[in-house]
Structure 1
Amino acid sequence: MGLFGIFSQKESVNKIQEYLNNGAVVLDVRTHQEWNEGHSEGAKHVVLNTIPDHLEEIKSLDKPVIAVCKSGGRSQSATDFLKQNGVDVINGGPWQNVDQYL
C-alpha cells in the first residue's frame, strides 16, 4: 500500500495539490547522484544533511514547501526539521508523487 496507506493516500494527494495550487516549492532532499538521475522540473535541490545550512534560504522563499525524496523517509525527516523551524511544509513522499501534478 505504500508509504501513505489506503485511507490517507487520497488525503495526501489532495494536500499535495492544495500546496501546489498555493505556489509551493518542491524541495528534493535526495543525493546529487539521485537528483542527476531524474527530478521534477523547477524543484529546488538541497541534500537532506545540508538543510540546516540552507534553512534561512528556504525560509526566505516565503512559500509553502513540499519535501520529496526517493521513498518518503528522508523527506519526512526534512519535513519534521523544517516544521520545527517554522516552515509551512508537507511530506510529498517519492518525488514522482508530486511530479505527476506539475
Structure 2
Amino acid sequence: MMILSRKYWSNTNHEHDQPAHLQLRDPNIPEIVNLPKYAGPESRYCPARVYEYIADDKGQLKLQINAQNCLHCKACDIKDPKQNIEWTVPEGGGGPGYSIM
C-alpha cells in the first residue's frame, strides 16, 4: 500500500501554522547512536515514512522529520530504541478522523 493512501484513509489533518508535534529530545542521537548501531530504525518503523535520513551537502546522513505526514499511530514513541522522540498531541483538533470505521 502506498504511503499517501495510508494518510488518505486515516483522514489525518494538520494545521499548517501549528508547532511540530514531533520533536527530538537530543538531536544528535539519530546520527550518533541510531544510525550506526541500529541502521536508522526511524526510517523503518513509521508506516507513513515521517522519518527519513537524507544526505547533507557533505554527504553525511541526517534525520529529517516530515511531521505533516504523521498518522498519529505513536509507533515512533513506542519503537525508538533510545526513546528520543517526543510525541505531543497536535494543536487545533488535528489528527486522524476515521470516518469509514
TM-score by length of 2: 0.27
Higher alpha-carbon Rg: 2
Q: Which has the higher contact order (CA 8 A, sep 6+)?
A: 2
More helix by share: 1
